[in-house]
Amino acid sequence: MIQVTKPSMSQSPCSAEDLKASAKVSPQKDFIGGYLGGMGIVISGHPLDTIKVRLQTMKAMAGHPPLYKNTWDCGVKTVRNEGIRGLYKGMGVPLLIIPPMFALWFFGFGVGKKLQQKHPEHQLSYLQTFKAGMLAGTVATVLCTPGERIKCLLQIQAESKQKAKYKGPIDCIQQLYKEGGIRWIYRGTAATFLRDIHGSGVYFVTYEFLQRSMLSEGDSRYNLSPLRTLVAGGLAGLANWLVAIPADVIKTRIQTAPMEGESQKIASVVLRLLKNEGHTALYIGSAPILMRAFIGNAACLLCYEATIRVLNYILPNL
């Protein structure tokens, strides 16, 4: 249980200007903070993301044990067969895509908040925060879908150059476009949207709730220590993924499936997965997802909050 405590003597009292700055919404600052937060989540969480994707895409074969027993087994086999670099496979795409995606995500959240504010110091309700988060998820899907598609295809490749279909992110984009045009690059958009729209709402409302719970009356978020920000960010990430995992499994299956073969419509994939693998298959990769969710989002929101504080100091009127 999170306890509400008053600031210690080492903390400076919160001024009226601090309270106004913490309440004021600035989508521009959210954009910059989100970009740096996105870099934090990629660097800290990519190895677990690689393990998650490989667990989600391994095929169940009758009479044969699964390729990977669990998160640890997948990580050990990946490092043994491909070296430590195997855990960072496909990281170039997230470093290019995820920071601007998070910038748009936080920008969309800022816009969603500003549209609902009655005045600059108006504190939104949790329902309004959830709505702003849903808008953020909608905006981010535009960049997220092709980035996730390319990342997943690169992550499931074997290290052997003879077997690898794609040489890298650019080659992957070129081949996908040649095979099916822009629609082929954006395959899985509906599943990505399904994952992100409610997940983003849960993410932001959870973070807002935890931040308010950690503050004494009259304080601003400036009084939160880095440790508390890490905890709030990590728990918000957990809340997000607890509701988003089934849609993420479906998205990954759709985005890594070949062009020819079985239908890749969401309903078809769900029914086929339930029939062949059972309902637990909707939660494949949960362990690395949740581990990455806590670590990555703790780093993300710490970077975000630090950036916002710096921007509020040097650009108070933005």
Contact 203, 133 (CB under 8 A): yes
pTM for the full predicted model: 0.77
In the chain the beta strands, taken as DSSP E runs, fall at: none
Give 71-101 pLDDT, tens digit per residue. Answer: 889 989 889 888 888 888 878 777 887 898 8
Other Cβ atoms less than 10 A from the Cβ of 220: the count is 18
The answer, yes or no, to whether residue 19 has pLDDT greater than 50, is no
Q: CA 11, CA 305: separation in Å to the nearest integer?
A: 17
Contact 292, 48 (CB under 8 A): yes
Local confidence band at 11 (pLDDT 50, 70, 90 cut-offs): very low
Domain spans in the chain, listed from the N-terminal domain onward: 17-314
The answer, yes or no, to whether residue 230 has pLDDT greater than 80, is yes
Contact 145, 186 (CB under 8 A): yes
- 232 burial type by CB count under 10 A (0-12 exposed, 13-18 middle, 19+ buried): buried
pLDDT at 134: 95
Residue 142 or residue 184, greater confidence: 184
pLDDT at 159: 47
Q: Is CATH 3.40.350.10 correct for 17-314?
A: no
b/e for 243-281, b at 16 or more Cβ within 10 A?
Answer: ebbbbbbbbbbbbbbeeeeeebebeebbeebeeeeeeeb
The answer, yes or no, to whether residue 302 has pLDDT greater than 70, is yes
pLDDT at 316: 81
| Share of residues in the chain with pLDDT > 90 (%) | 44
Local confidence band at 62 (pLDDT 50, 70, 90 cut-offs): low
pLDDT at 68: 84
Q: CA 138, CA 141: separation in Å to the nearest integer?
A: 5
Pick from 98, 169, 176, 198: nearest CA to 140: 98
